[in-house]
Amino acid sequence: MPMPLPYTAALERRRLRPDIPRFFPMDTSAFSPTLPAAAGAVIGYLIGSLSFAVIISRLFGLADPRTYGSGNPGATNVLRSGSKGAAILTLLFDALKAYVPVIVAQRLGADALTTMLIGLGAFLGHLWPVFFRFEGGKGVATAAGALLAYDPAMGGLSLLVWLGMAVVFRYSSLASLAAAIAAPALQVALNGWGPTALGVIVMSALLIWRHEANIRKLLAGQESKIGQKAAPPSDAAR
């Protein structure tokens, strides 16, 4: 009777000969894409929950952006405080909190579902930040960061749509709505359907929904233009 192979040698034989049965047969393939995707969504959400409009305003000694203008903790409303530096930093960090995690995940070899959920999680964290009593912004800069990380061409074209509308009409909300409508179409046209397209559609739909009050103001001719000085927020804007 032949002597049993040492444990390590047996493992090596099974690696080279897949026809040899395993000691503990178990199909774990169903869990492999799910766990990283779920973890990525949670990590993205926690990073997205950092409300840089509030954080940077505090560092600059400014009023909480949730207490003036539109009441929205975002770069456009911070600009209404009169501090261009604070507004630029808010815009930059709100975009980076989605861009950087997605890029890191891509470099680590994450699949499309995981990277999509990381970006979407960051976007949802901005809308409903757990660290700031779930009082978040509209998510324009964070969505832009995610789009640029998903695909620079699609994200860049979406930003061009925003820029063109902002330059012509001077309404940040109108520019954001136009970019939100364009982004899913650009993603599908450039890259086809898939997890990323689904994520872009969800972000665009939520972004449009978060601009409901701005849509009403635009229709009534009462929307503030880019750079317009702040006023106390109305109850509807809160």
* 155-176 tens-digit pLDDT: 999 999 999 999 999 888 899 9
In angstroms, rounded to a whole number, what is the distance separating the alpha carbons of residues 229 and 238?
A: 18
Alpha-carbon distance values, 38 to 47, 96, 199 (Å): 14, 21, 14
List b or e across 143-163, with b for residues whose CB sees 16 or more CB atoms inside 10 angstroms.
Answer: bbbbbbbbbeebbebbbebbe
Annotated domain spans of the chain: 34-220
pLDDT of 179: 96
The percentage of residues in the chain with a pLDDT greater than 70, rounded to a whole number, is 81
* 10-36 tens-digit pLDDT: 444 444 444 434 443 434 344 456 888
Alpha-carbon distance values, 174 to 28, 120, 187, 226 (Å): 47, 22, 20, 11
Binning pLDDT at 50, 70 and 90, where does residue 78 land? Answer: confident
The pTM of this model reads: 0.79
In angstroms, rounded to a whole number, what is the distance separating the alpha carbons of residues 159 and 181?
A: 12
Min mean pLDDT across 41-55, 60-74, 86-100, 193-207 is at 60-74
Using the predicted structure, report yes or no on whether residue 230 has a pLDDT greater than 70. Answer: no
pLDDT of 202: 97
Closest by Cα among 128, 139, 113, 132 to 34 = 113
pLDDT of 7: 41
* 102-111 tens-digit pLDDT: 999 999 988 9
The average pLDDT across 118-129 equals 96
Q: Residue 119 CB: number of other CB atoms within 10 A?
A: 32
